[in-house]
Amino acid sequence: MFNIKKKHFQERKTKFFSCLYFYRMEFSLKEKEFIELNKLIKLLNIAESGGAANQMIIEGLVCRNNKIETRKRCKLKVGDVISIKDENIEVLIID
């Protein structure tokens, strides 16, 4: 019986890794006017550190409203959509 469960788990694991997933998140400004792009990426743990977040932005891996954004401290406001290339992550800024 243990072997059947193990085999079933391996099949599910294979299916899991063969699928592409797209992560959609919402980030609330909580009555603030804006948040800087590099701070958002760090805060959501998309990058391990602020320096890594800055590097992602400089390399053109971050898009704001479907356009590549290279300004590290770009002010994100309600309605902006951030997407990260090669990570399948999209973040919507909400109120």
| pLDDT tens digits along 57-67 | 999 999 999 99
22-94 belongs to which CATH class?
A: alpha beta
Percentage of residues in the chain with pLDDT exceeding 70? 78
- Has this prediction a pTM greater than 0.85? no
Average pLDDT, the chain: 80
pLDDT class for 16, splitting at 50, 70, 90?
Answer: very low
Given a contact cutoff of 8 angstroms between Cβ atoms, the answer to whether 93 and 80 are in contact is yes
Show the tokens assigned to 36: 């800087």
Domain positions in the chain are 22-94
Q: Which residue from 69, 67, 2, 80 is spatially nearest to 35, judged by alpha carbons?
A: 80
Q: Which residue from 12, 62, 68 is spatially nearest to 37, judged by alpha carbons?
A: 62
Query: What are the residues facing 40 on neighbouring strands?
Result: none
Residue 46 one-letter amino acid: I
